[in-house]
Amino acid sequence: KNYIYRDLKLENLLLDEKGYAMLTDFGLAKNIRAEEKAMTFCGTPEYLSPEVLLGKGHNRPTDWWTLGILIYEMVYGIPAFYDRNRKTMYQKIVREPVEFKSSPAISDKCKDIILKLLEKAPVKRLGSISDSLEVLSHPWFAEIDIDRWHLIDNSSLSVEETVQRITQVAADAQR
């Protein structure tokens, strides 16, 4: 409780032998009270939130921003505001709206959660009011059949079979 992670990205998500996602690399994590703001400029460039880039201070809403970038990257294979030129990318993060690609087609609920997580104003961002309860209450998560995840909890599956099942469950959730 009271931690901000500040480095959520695909490279920091690993699967254990049972297929459960595990976070790694807590080097940027910080214990901070809800009313405080961290001022450190840190994180992965493609995942930085507007408030970090603008030096306004950040807290938990920055982690919800990175979740939005993560979901977008998992869907499209590239972070939402990516540009080879870092300065241009930072300008896009701060100023430009999220653009959805025509392929693959994603559900309106998936688009909505991405848009709400990538809200430029941290006080309006999904998760800024009641944290994870607010995020998990989003309709996009209602489409995920938690009981299907129990299929993954089978130590007799190979890593490849586990990844295939996780991919299928995630694909089903996007439809």
> What does the pLDDT look like over 58-91, one tens digit per residue?
999 999 999 999 999 999 999 999 999 999 999 9
pTM higher than 0.75: yes
| 146 phi and psi angles, rounded to 5 deg | -55, -35
Which single residue is written with the structure tokens 């490279």?
Answer: 11
> What does the pLDDT look like over 6-62, one tens digit per residue?
888 989 888 887 777 888 888 888 988 888 899 989 899 999 999 999 999 999 999
Catalytic residues: 7
